[in-house]
Amino acid sequence: MTVHHGRPDGTGRRFALVCSRFNDLIVTRLEHGARDVLVRHGVADDAIDSLWVPGAWEIPIVAKAVAETGRYDAVVGLGAVMRGATYHFEIVANHSAAGLARVALDTGVVVTNGIVTVDTMDQALERAGSKAGNKGADAALAALETVDLLHRVTSDS
Ligand code: INI
């Protein structure tokens, strides 16, 4: 039996971070967390591009466009959807998550989801670098591992 695991080695890899400005207090921290994890795992700082969109709703279409360029090994969606901010919380949260999943399957490019969906600003802050970790860093690490695993199982060697 062979067990395969992805190793989070980012040497020579390129990443796009698609970030929403809505709730940018949170998303800026997610972006820093993602960038920090990527650089600490060997990704060159100039091999990470951050693209800022108005809100989480707009993340999937830009993720699709950057995935289709073929320039990136993975795309990480980063955003913060908060129930208190609008009655259409569910619509924005569901669209952004489903959209990212679809981009990954349609393009074959690794896309991970670092969009926090929470009830309150306190819950968002907890997930943006305090007691519940940093969901941007988690999504970046998931991207590194998945890129490596796919490379192993799809390469000839
Ligand atoms: N966008 C977010 O990223 N987070 C939110 O909490 C949010 N709320 O609550 O409304 C939000 N709305 C904007 C949305 O993403 C689009 O930018 C907008 O609807 C224009 O298409």
Closest-CA residue, ligand 1 atom 6, reads 81
pTM above 0.85, yes or no: yes
- Banded model confidence at residue 155, pLDDT cuts 50, 70, 90: confident
Tell me how many helices (H) and strands (E) the chain has: 5, 6
Is 81 close to ligand 1, i.e. is its CB under 6 Å away? Answer: yes
- Distance between the two ends of the chain, CA-based, in angstroms? 18
The CA 144 to ligand 1 mean position distance, Å, reads 28
**In this structure, what DSSP letter does residue 46 have?**
G
Report, as residue numbers or ranges, the catalytic residues: 88
pLDDT tens profile 23-79: 999 999 999 999 999 999 999 999 999 999 999 999 999 999 999 999 999 999 999
**Ligand 1 center to residue 136 CA distance, Å?**
18
Ligand 1 contact, 26 CB (< 6 A): no
Q: Give the H or E element holding residue 49.
A: strand 48-53
Domain ranges for the chain: 15-147
The distance of Cα 3 from the centroid of its chain, to the nearest Å, equals 26
Tokens of 57: 């709703």
pLDDT of residue 91: 93
Query: In CATH, what number does 15-147 get?
Result: 3.40.50.960
Alpha-helical runs (H) found in the chain: 24-40, 59-68, 89-107, 121-126, 135-154
Q: How far is the CA of 89 from the centre of ligand 1 (A)?
A: 8
- CA pseudo-torsion sign 22, 26, 30, 35: positive
**pLDDT tens digits, 77-126:** 999 999 975 668 889 999 999 999 999 999 999 999 999 999 999 999 99
